[in-house]
Amino acid sequence: MRISDLFRRREIDQRVDEEFEFHLRMQIEENIRSGMNASDACVAARRKLGNRTQVTEEVYRMNTISFLEEVAQNVRFSVRTLRRNPGFAMTAVLVLALGLGSSTAMFSALDRILFRPLPYADEDRLVHFGMTFPSFSGRGAADSDLILIAGSYQGSWKPVPEPFTAVTTVMWGKGSSCDVTEQPSERLLCAQVESNFLKTFGVRPVLGRDFTPEDDVRGAPQVAIISHKVWTRRFGADPGAIGRTMDLDGASASVIGVLPAEFSMPTGEADILRPQQQYPLPPGQLGSMLTAFGRLKPGVTGEQARAAIAPIIEANAKELPRVGGNSPQPRVVRLRDHLIGDAPRVAWLLLGAVAGLLLIACVNVTNLIVARLAARNREFEVRAALGAGRARLARLALTESLMLAVVGGTLGLALAAGMLRMFVQMAPSSMREIERAALDLRVFAVAGALALVAGLAVGAWPAFSVWRVRELQHGSRATPAARPRMRFALVTAQIALTVVMLGGSALLLRTLWNQVAVPLGYQSEQVFTMRVEPNAARYPPSSRGSRHALFEQLLDRIRQIPGTVAATMSSDEFPSGRHSVASRIAVDRQPPRDLPPGMRLRGQEVTPGYFQTFRIPILKGRAFAESDRDGPPVAILSESAARLLFPGQDPIGHTVERGYNNTDLTRVTRWAEVVGVAGDVRNVGPTLDSDPEIYVPAENWGYLASYAVYAIRTQASSVDAAAFMKQAVADLDPLTPVTVEPLDAEVDRQTERPRFVAWLLAAFAGLALLLAAAGLYGVASYLVTQRTRDIGVRMALGASPADISRQVMGEAGRWIAAGAVLGCALAYVAIRAIEAQLYGVGSLDPLSWIAALGVLCGALFLAVWRPASRAARVDPMEALRAD
Amino acid sequence: MGKDKAELLQGTLDLLVLKTVETMGPLHGWAIAKRIEQVAQDLLELKYGTLYPALMRLEQNGWISSEWGTSENNRRARFYSITKQGRKQLALEAENWEQMVAFITRVLGSTR
């Protein structure tokens, strides 16, 4: 039976030979003793012993083939038994498929966040580093504010300082989009990288070559490495694409390489990589901001790296003009943390929930099998009596549950494919790794392993109890009394797990409710926004004329869209764009002063329709008028800005500093009079306090800004509004791509993560509850059937139907209570995992837990209702006659 | 020759072999066969082809162990002895057998 016996043929051969020989000799001797002559004795002995080869063969079969044969036999047998009980088999398979399918889909969705290495060589040594400014890094700040300055980059970071082995940069912000200016024209995402960029990340182009230092010199010929997608889309995946040219932003660049399909840019997305070509910088220029990445020497910690770069950052900072109140701080973040952020927390939570569901599914199926086992006890006893070994029977029982798991797992895969599609659609943008999830080999392997584990888990108890079968029992009560208790214990375990999941989802749903219910300070319905970024080559910045004209004309057109109630153009995305922030400001003709640490002031240039469009209330003073755009400078403060800058005073009539004069780009201090105070807008996120904001009228738009954001409040339908806005842009410049989005979508996005987590958890908890209720129903029905006779006797002795159903309910109630108590204890420990996700509700929130327990008890009592009422309808005469 | 001799009921050979090696101590295959035939008073014939695979199987299950030794007539032979596990199994199978007999007796009794 042992697999190793498969390889011991020779040894067996030899032993069989020797034994045969011995046996033969003994037989011959005996024959001679009984009077035969030598040759007769020999022949007779041989005849008696039979064919030696046959014996050897039998020993082989026993040793080897029988193992495989038994498996096949068990499988055949299981298929037959299961086919004879389609109800049981279907239920078990479906329950397992549900558990395995959800687990597989969840694993696949979260794999990239939790387990799969980033697609870079030795990713654990890659870091994102740079300097961060206190005014940037307040609440809601991202690591994308971690920068280096090109002006000091080459001098300080090349050659690479200790403890790095390589340092590389991508140009920050600028150049994130570029236009293909040949047909078919399209807007792509371009990243401008240093020539060692791909090398540092351990990525090689699949076709063509990498950048060389010669490519990355100011004035060098334009070259580009294109993404696999662009290669497929624009060049039909033709290897001849290398050496061809593409017109990018009006200049011809030759394609020198193609990125691997699985490549992903650490700064977001990129269709095209181009060299920065900014060095040598013209004298006196700071150059652009850079996003820097480094590869550390093995074994270097982030803290060590931070300490090492601190002096360099400090020296770099000295060369900068004073940008904020405080000096920049060095920071080093592991690339993985930078890219994935705090998503793993949520991911573990979801994985825990789905594991709970799988566990409940397994317990449920175990329960089904145990129930069936009770009925099959007899069969196993007879088998045992007829000589089937206990191990053999246990293996048979295990084969059956493994088969259920395999079929369930296969069905689960199909289910997982569907679920995964749903997850991907629901996935919050802060977990963008989910979008790339797919059912690949890795996921199949995990799904297989899960099915195997589930099969073993489900089969363990039955196999064990079969192992214990040894006596032939007889009499009318074939089932040992211990069985229902075992089944109830299993149901209790399911209930306990369900309590945890229900409680967790109740808390998360309250969190979601709290977040959605936060007054945002504006009204998002019927508002549509659109960001317009004209091609930089055709609309050059810093020149009077075309860009400015485009922006203004577009505003006029948008105002005229039918159904428009109000329209506005502003410098930044509503509500959370971070185009302009300051940690320093001057008021009332005083010298500038620093804001309290961690505070930042947002500046926003808007046209007069702004407050009307977003329905932001003007609390004091007035809104902007058309005449403010070219009159004396004025400003409107948000409520919190008024409190911050003029505490305890009426801000109207005071003045605040207005920075650059957009017309000639010189910094002249102009003093804007505060004419109004507007309500606060949740501009950091729905759950965080608002950043104070200063609004000024937009002047001479387009001299500095590369884009403008338009918004309209409309009475038209969303389809019409979007079409009209797009048409307005296309009328002026058909080549500028735009996307129109309802503001509601942006609002939804702010709560998409709590929504994702809450709905998923609630769905899992609902399924768990369903399974637990089904389990309880099964056990209770079984119990009632078992006790029909007892019930009959009790009724004959005068118990009323209500007494009987009360007794059944009472018994089930005890098990439910036990499960609930156990569940609460379990939850008390497990709920810590959820705490970080909560908002406006404590993890011990009584309402949530009472609601969870209420739903639980409601569903479970509903499940026992039918068995209980069936018990009450037992006819005593029939019940007593039945035996 | 063996027409009136009983065929072995499946599963009982194990019981017979185990019992034999338990009471007689280490024996070689030939002696085991002889002993069983002797006790059965020629009601049963134990063929080499039946016995030998059974010995292998019992040994693989860990119920008997074997080692090479020298037979009474100075031949090299393999001697089988019962293991601790084998004794347990023997007790179990003996019990099973008794129940089986009781069961069959009852079945025969009730259908008669």
* Reported confidence tier of residue A840, pLDDT bands at 50, 70, 90: confident
Note whether B60 contacts A1, CB cutoff 8 Å: yes
Taking residues A607-628, what's their average pLDDT? Answer: 92
* SS3 assignment for A248-292: ECCEEEEEEEECCCCCCCCCCCCCEEEECCCCCCCCCCCCCEEEE
Taking residues A465-482, what's their average pLDDT? Answer: 53
Note whether B96 contacts A18, CB cutoff 8 Å: no
Preceding peptide of A632 cis, ω within 30°: no
- What is the reported pLDDT for A1? 42
Q: Residues of A with CB below 8 A from B52's CB?
A: 16, 19-20, 23, 55, 59
Please tell me which of the candidates B48, B53, B77 has its beta carbon nearest to residue A50: B48
Rounded to whole angstroms, the Cα distance separating A417 from A410 reads 11
Q: By a Cβ cutoff of 8 Å, what residues of chain A touch chain B?
A: 1-2, 5, 15-16, 18-20, 22-23, 25-27, 29, 48-51, 54-55, 58-59, 62-63, 384-387, 389, 470-472
Mean pLDDT rounded to a whole number for chain A: 83
Is pLDDT of A474 > 60? no
Of residues A730 and A59, more confidently modeled: A730
- What is the reported pLDDT for A822? 92
Three-state SS at A526 = coil
Question: How many pairs of residues across A and B have Cβ atoms under 8 Å apart?
Answer: 73
Taking residues A139-158, what's their average pLDDT? Answer: 70
Is pLDDT of A139 > 50? no
Any idea which of A121-130, A473-482, A742-751, B24-33 has the lowest mean pLDDT? Answer: A473-482
Please tell me which of the candidates B53, B61, B76 has its beta carbon nearest to residue A58: B53
Three-state SS at A184 = coil
* Reported confidence tier of residue A204, pLDDT bands at 50, 70, 90: very high
Please tell me which of the candidates B10, B28, B71 has its beta carbon nearest to residue A387: B10
- Distance in Å from the first CA to the final CA of chain B: 33
Rounded to whole angstroms, the Cα distance separating A732 from A70 reads 78
Nearest residue to A764 via CA among A497, A514, A512? A497
- What is the reported pLDDT for A134? 61
Any idea which of A38-47, A446-455, A639-648, A765-774 has the lowest mean pLDDT? Answer: A38-47
Note whether A50 contacts B49, CB cutoff 8 Å: yes
Which position has the token pair 């060098």? A220
Note whether A22 contacts B76, CB cutoff 8 Å: yes
Q: Provide the ipTM.
A: 0.82
- CB-CB contact of B60 with A1 (8 Å): yes
What token pair was written down for A793?
């006797």
Helices A788-796 and A801-830: crossing angle in degrees, nearest 10, is 130
- Distance in Å from the first CA to the final CA of chain A: 45
Residues lower than pLDDT 50 in chain B: 1-4, 112
A366 to chain B, closest Cα gap in Å = 28
Q: Residues of B with CB below 8 A from A11's CB?
A: none
Note whether B56 contacts A18, CB cutoff 8 Å: no
Which residue of chain B has the CA closest to A4? B60
Judged on CB neighbours under 10 Å (0-12, 13-18, 19+), A664 is exposed
Note whether B60 contacts A470, CB cutoff 8 Å: no
* Reported confidence tier of residue A387, pLDDT bands at 50, 70, 90: low
* Reported confidence tier of residue A177, pLDDT bands at 50, 70, 90: confident
- What is the reported pLDDT for B1? 36
- What is the reported pLDDT for A612? 94
Note whether B56 contacts A62, CB cutoff 8 Å: yes
Any idea which of A188-202, A655-669, A806-820 has the lowest mean pLDDT? Answer: A655-669
Of residues A523 and A833, more confidently modeled: A523
CB within 8 Å of A65: residues ≥ 6 apart: none
- What is the reported pLDDT for A326? 55
Note whether A385 contacts B73, CB cutoff 8 Å: no
Please tell me which of the candidates A22, A385, A471 has its beta carbon nearest to residue B30: A22
Q: For the full predicted model, state whether its pTM sits above 0.90.
A: no
- What is the reported pLDDT for A257? 94
Cα atoms in the 13 Å half-sphere on the side-chain side of A258: 21
- What is the reported pLDDT for A340? 81
Taking residues A69-82, what's their average pLDDT? Answer: 82
- What is the reported pLDDT for A260? 92
- What is the reported pLDDT for A97? 92
B11 to chain A, closest Cα gap in Å = 5
- What is the reported pLDDT for A140? 44
Instruction: Note the pLDDT tens digit of each residue in A442-451.
Output: 888 988 898 8
Of residues B100 and A745, more confidently modeled: A745
A477 to chain B, closest Cα gap in Å = 17
Any idea which of A71-80, A90-99, A572-581 has the lowest mean pLDDT? Answer: A572-581
- CB-CB contact of A193 with A168 (8 Å): yes
CB within 8 Å of A339: residues ≥ 6 apart: A118, A266
* Reported confidence tier of residue A481, pLDDT bands at 50, 70, 90: very low
Please tell me which of the candidates A50, A59, A384 has its beta carbon nearest to residue B47: A50
Rounded to whole angstroms, the Cα distance separating A250 from A802 reads 87
Which residue of chain B has the CA closest to A20? B48
- CB-CB contact of A582 with A737 (8 Å): no
B109 to chain A, closest Cα gap in Å = 16
Of residues A720 and A137, more confidently modeled: A720
Taking residues A484-492, what's their average pLDDT? Answer: 79
The pLDDT > 70 percentage for chain A reads: 89
Rounded to whole angstroms, the Cα distance separating A707 from A404 reads 60
Report the residue count for chain B.
112
Substitution target from B13, B99, B103, B106 for chain A, most A beta carbons within 10 A: B99
Taking residues A279-285, what's their average pLDDT? Answer: 78
- What is the reported pLDDT for A480? 46
Which residue of chain B has the CA closest to A391? B61
In A684-751, where does DSSP find H-type helix?
718-732, 743-750
CB within 8 Å of A377: residues ≥ 6 apart: A469, A473, A478, A479, A480
Q: Residues of B with CB below 8 A from A26's CB?
A: 30, 71, 75
Note whether A22 contacts B57, CB cutoff 8 Å: no
- What is the reported pLDDT for A173? 66
Q: Residues of B with CB below 8 A from A380's CB?
A: none
Rounded to whole angstroms, the Cα distance separating A527 from A713 reads 4
- CB-CB contact of A586 with A672 (8 Å): no
Which residue of chain A has the CA closest to B51? A55
Is pLDDT of A635 > 70? yes
Note whether B78 contacts A19, CB cutoff 8 Å: yes
Which residue of chain B has the CA closest to A57? B53
- What is the reported pLDDT for A459? 84
Rounded to whole angstroms, the Cα distance separating A441 from A454 reads 20
Substitution target from A1, A5, A18, A19 for chain B, most B beta carbons within 10 A: A19
Is pLDDT of A2 > 90? no
Note whether B53 contacts A23, CB cutoff 8 Å: no
Q: Residues of B with CB below 8 A from A20's CB?
A: 48, 52
Which residue of chain A has the CA closest to B72? A26
What token pair was written down for A875?
């006819």
Q: Residues of A with CB below 8 A from B74's CB?
A: none
Is pLDDT of A478 > 50? no
Note whether B52 contacts A19, CB cutoff 8 Å: yes
Please tell me which of the candidates A22, A386, A472 has its beta carbon nearest to residue B11: A386
Which residue of chain B has the CA closest to A1? B60
- What is the reported pLDDT for A617? 94
CB within 8 Å of A714: residues ≥ 6 apart: A526, A527, A528, A561, A563, A564, A565, A721
Taking residues A714-731, what's their average pLDDT? Answer: 88
User: Distance of CA A592 to CAs A322, A487, A670, A783, B29, Å?
Assistant: 12, 75, 13, 81, 107
Note whether B48 contacts A49, CB cutoff 8 Å: yes
Which residue of chain A has the CA closest to B60? A1
For residue A674, give the DSSP letter: E
Nearest residue to A761 via CA among A829, A697, A830, A702? A830
CB within 8 Å of A441: residues ≥ 6 apart: none
Q: At B66, which helix (H) or strand (E)?
A: strand B64-70
Three-state SS at A224 = strand
Please tell me which of the candidates B49, B99, B103 has its beta carbon nearest to residue A58: B49
Instruction: Note the pLDDT tens digit of each residue in A86-127.
Output: 888 888 899 999 999 999 999 998 888 888 888 888 888 999
Taking residues A804-813, what's their average pLDDT? Answer: 86
A385 to chain B, closest Cα gap in Å = 6
A362 to chain B, closest Cα gap in Å = 32
A92 to chain B, closest Cα gap in Å = 34
Nearest residue to B63 via CA among B24, B95, B98, B92? B92
- What is the reported pLDDT for B112? 45
| Paired residues of A645 in beta bridges | none
- What is the reported pLDDT for A530? 92
